[in-house]
Structure 1
Amino acid sequence: MKLTILGGGGFRVPLVYGALLADHAEGRVTAVTLYDTDAGRLAAVARVLAEQAEGIADAPALVATTDLDEALRGADFVFSAIRVGGLAGRAADERVALDLGVLGQETVGAGGIAYGLRTVPVAVELARRIALLAPEAWVINFTNPAGLVTEAMSRHLGDRVIGICDSPVGLGRRIALALGADPARARIDYIGLNHLGWVRGLHVEGRDLLPRLLADPELLGTFEEGRLFGADWLRSLGAVPNEYLHYYYFNREAVRAYQEAERTRGAFLRDQQEGFYGLMKDPATPALATWDRTRAERDATYMAENRDAAGAGERDDSGMDSGGYEQVALALMRAVARDERTSLILNVRNRTTLAALDADAVIEAPCLVDANGAHPLAADPLPYHAVGLVTAVKGVERAVLDAAESGSRADAVKAFALHPLVDSVSVARRLVDGYTEAHPALAYLRGR
């Protein structure tokens, strides 16, 4: 079975290959093709993967190429893990927004919109190429903003594109461990959009354990989200939000923390990865050890500004053990390729799961996965406050898709202005001006 990774020179690709190396079952991936437009990054990651595979007799064969058509032909699965504009683009997204007093995070608010505006056109072209050269392939989307990009690709690939994220499974795992439950035996009642969802129940042997957690401030203080949001707010919600909702519930504090930080997250990662890929130009550099060291530093500093704003302290080991998006991807591939029915939280078309959204809107929800793909399970209605956020952000995503298709500057302004974390048409116009100046890839946005 052949797996193609688009964005094969990306820093997190060794996580995926490591998961594949541990899979020795029948029907496993036997060939991996890495595709990237940057030959230098591609060569660096290929070196890391080669060291990972040392001593493993049945390691999947590796091919690295800058030829997209070569990469796609014959693929059974395609992972889309691209980053249009690189980390320099992410750093610019953050800075333009923060200079105007709004959040610039890469998937939430102004930064997420800017990233989506330059990523959607590329993702759509990839989807069209996949449909032509590998029409039977299943596409697993890692590319952020994951829900938005998955929806853009689904317009050309239908249900054969599925988005994944490790945030929900990591949150469920941390809640289960806080309650002394086995995460593998827990059923998580989670619903929303990517980076905008809530755990509303955690069921073990037919019993919902979440009320016990919400009633116990001491237990709530034992895991990342409990410290991040605080026991009082979680009790008020009656649910545990995805960590990215901290940007909504504590927006002013988050923006202030990011403005006061020495570097934005994107600038930190840009500098860190420039160092990593620079070191990898020397053939004497131990590839895997260098990657491991860089990854550990990256994980430890994740959402540091939010933790500072909340007084949540350092990120502990359980907080960093998110369950792994590579493990979600592997479980998804197994279920589809081997018809091993399983339940996973994925980004898929809504169908009838959330009544407030139309059938084609991509949501993040528990799904039954089998050889026919991922099927979202029925869910209880969201409370009004959550419906408001979900529908508002979905409206923003639709405006981004409209702008990417029409090339209309007015549609882009609309996307920014409608977002709850921008809330100003004047600021939205200035954001579009700032981003089009910062990103040549947004030159397609025309005045109207």
Structure 2
Amino acid sequence: MAAAAPPHENSGRIQEGSTMAKSSYAVTIAGGGSTFTPGIALMLLKEHDRFPVDKVVFYDNDAERQEIVAKACEIYFKENAPELDFSYTTDPEEAFTGIDFVLAHIRVGKYAMRELDEKIPLKYGCVGQETCGAGGIAYGMRSIGGVIEILDYMEKYSPDAWMLNYSNPAAIVAEACRVLRPDSKIINICDMPIDLMDKMAVMCGLKDHRDLQYSYYGLNHYGWFTKIFDKQGNDLMPQIKKHMAKNGYLDGISHEEGQEQHIDESWIHTFGKAKDVYAIDPETIPNTYLKYYTYPDYVVETSNPNYTRANEVMDGREKRVFGACRKVIESGTAEGAGFEADAHATYIVDLACALAENTGERFLLIVPNDGAVSNFDETAMVEVPCIVGSNGYEKICQGKVPQWQKGMLEQQVSVEKLVVQAWVEGSYQKLWQALTLSATIPSAKVAKQILDDLIEVNKDYWPELK
């Protein structure tokens, strides 16, 4: 089992005696019915030369939803990779036996519950967002049990496998794994910083995030870049800061292949608003999600309480992907269906490859602090750069954070810890405290009103609170 190293400059989690390198690997995608699953599966094929995969299993507890995605992918695989051993199942033993990696991106409650996560807080004039504020807390209370269940399946049927978890809200899920499964082989990751680094690369005339070296600290969806260099060691921060001060991340949207046409309007607003978040501390480059905590009034004013991001996704990506899958199934061929590898999935393959092939690459991971941020809670699950190889990860120390960031981080990490304590203890009081402490909620009175509404709609998903 994984054992945490003591705090030092490059502290981390080292897996003793781990020599994973093989001629090929078996992968289970947990969340087989997700709209992101086809893109991830195709990315595995695209990257076959450096990360050879000979077996892919889709797992989901929603058989009907998964079957639509899986049948379409099955047709694609037969046409493009007939040698691949592909299957899909709702049986945990079948899904998690004999595999090397679990790629987990589950959504407990699906988009119907996400819609409630967003609309209930907005009813009380508070931020309604998938991973931030009350919505993120509600989602976290649903996700903890689902992620722990999948982790336990993996350890039961394939104890030497690694689980790469990018299920949201990653900060709360990571804290729950730290508390409930501290020795498990799970790495919690997020693609948002990768997307932002891709945009910064474009600002500097570079191809993508792989051309950058960086320093970063924070919590998931709650952090700051402090240094950005190119591979030759040139400081890119002055150039990036000029773009941020003028247009936020908007200057980093690539115009190649009409990429800007595929970005939803809500994200355009988010990338633009980063200009104002950056202005608070122009010495660092902020994660876009910080807008929800620093400008909650703006977020509420510009939100439509009757049509939130969940509706946008259901009417957009959800319909597009499932429409394409049904078209493939009906026609019997994936040709012309528009299936393509998801560029954002490259970081998942990169991480799996680093673990499997001992590449020693740098990744932003969500890991126990243990001194990586020296003036912050030792037990916090921080998002910091790590060096990854076949024995696990080693954290790169980020030193002390300034008072502004420290104050924000202390508040937010307390919210996340209280949520996990509430789940573990079944505590109404702890969850009320978590909501009251959130920077997105103005008072304990409003926090209680939101909580009571959330309890009512989450009866089938949350533990009973007393």
Query: TM-score, structure 2 length as denominator?
Result: 0.82
The code of the aligned residue for 2:416 comes to E
Indicate which of 286, 294, 298 corresponds to 1:249: 294
The code of the aligned residue for 2:195 comes to G
Match of 1:168 in 2: 193
For residues 440 and 287 of structure 1, what CA distance do their matches in structure 2 show?
42
1:147 aligns with 2:193: no
For 1:206-235, what per-residue CA distance to the aligned partner results, in whole angstroms no more than 9, with x for missing partners?
232202332465686623677333279448
Indicate which of 96, 120, 124 corresponds to 1:96: 120
Residues 397 and 415, structure 1, Cα contact 8 Å, conserved in 2: yes
Match of 2:234 in 1: 207
The code of the aligned residue for 2:381 comes to V
SS in 2 for 1:380: coil
Moved more, 147-156 or 223-232: 223-232
Residues 234 and 240, structure 1, Cα contact 8 Å, conserved in 2: no
Match of 1:385 in 2: 404
How many residues in Structure 1 have an aligned counterpart in Structure 2? 419
Match of 2:384 in 1: 365
1:223 aligns with 2:252: yes
Match of 1:56 in 2: 80
Change (3 A) 1:242 1:135: same
Gaps of 5+ in 2: 1-24, 254-269
Match of 1:237 in 2: 282
Moved more, 19-28 or 430-439: 19-28
SS in 2 for 1:5: strand
1:353 aligns with 2:353: no
Indicate which of 196, 203, 226 corresponds to 1:178: 203
1:259 aligns with 2:286: no
Residues 349 and 362, structure 1, Cα contact 8 Å, conserved in 2: yes
User: C-alpha displacement at 1:289, in angstroms?
Assistant: 7.8
Structure of greater relative contact order (alpha carbons < 8 Å, 6+ residues apart): 2
User: C-alpha displacement at 1:61, in angstroms?
Assistant: 2.0
Residues 35 and 322, structure 2, Cα contact 8 Å, conserved in 1: no
The code of the aligned residue for 2:223 comes to G
User: C-alpha displacement at 1:111, in angstroms?
Assistant: 0.2
Query: TM-score, structure 1 length as denominator?
Result: 0.85
For residues 375 and 278 of structure 1, what CA distance do their matches in structure 2 show?
43
For 1:161-193, what per-residue CA distance to the aligned partner results, in whole angstroms no more than 9, with x for missing partners?
111211111211211221224543320222211
Moved more, 172-181 or 124-133: 124-133
Change (3 A) 1:208 1:53: same
For 1:251-289, what per-residue CA distance to the aligned partner results, in whole angstroms no more than 9, with x for missing partners?
1111111136x5111123234536854785674267858
Change (3 A) 1:347 1:332: same
Residues 344 and 368, structure 1, Cα contact 8 Å, conserved in 2: yes
Match of 2:36 in 1: 12
For residues 274 and 84 of structure 2, what CA distance do their matches in structure 1 show?
42
1:414 aligns with 2:433: yes
For residues 374 and 325 of structure 1, what CA distance do their matches in structure 2 show?
21
The code of the aligned residue for 1:164 comes to I
Change (3 A) 1:27 1:56: same
Change (3 A) 1:292 1:407: farther
The code of the aligned residue for 1:223 comes to G
Match of 2:16 in 1: none
For residues 113 and 74 of structure 2, what CA distance do their matches in structure 1 show?
29
Residues 403 and 445, structure 1, Cα contact 8 Å, conserved in 2: no
SS in 1 for 2:148: helix
For residues 321 and 27 of structure 2, what CA distance do their matches in structure 1 show?
25
The code of the aligned residue for 1:326 comes to A
User: C-alpha displacement at 1:330, in angstroms?
Assistant: 0.3
Residues 345 and 366, structure 1, Cα contact 8 Å, conserved in 2: yes
Residues 79 and 139, structure 1, Cα contact 8 Å, conserved in 2: yes
Gaps of 5+ in 1: 296-320
Moved more, 65-74 or 175-184: 175-184
For residues 334 and 383 of structure 2, what CA distance do their matches in structure 1 show?
33
The code of the aligned residue for 1:413 comes to W
The code of the aligned residue for 1:404 comes to W
Percent of counterpart pairs with the same letter?
A: 29
The code of the aligned residue for 2:100 comes to D
Match of 2:330 in 1: 284
Indicate which of 441, 448, 461 corresponds to 1:429: 448
SS in 1 for 2:181: helix
For residues 259 and 431 of structure 1, what CA distance do their matches in structure 2 show?
18
Residues 199 and 251, structure 2, Cα contact 8 Å, conserved in 1: no
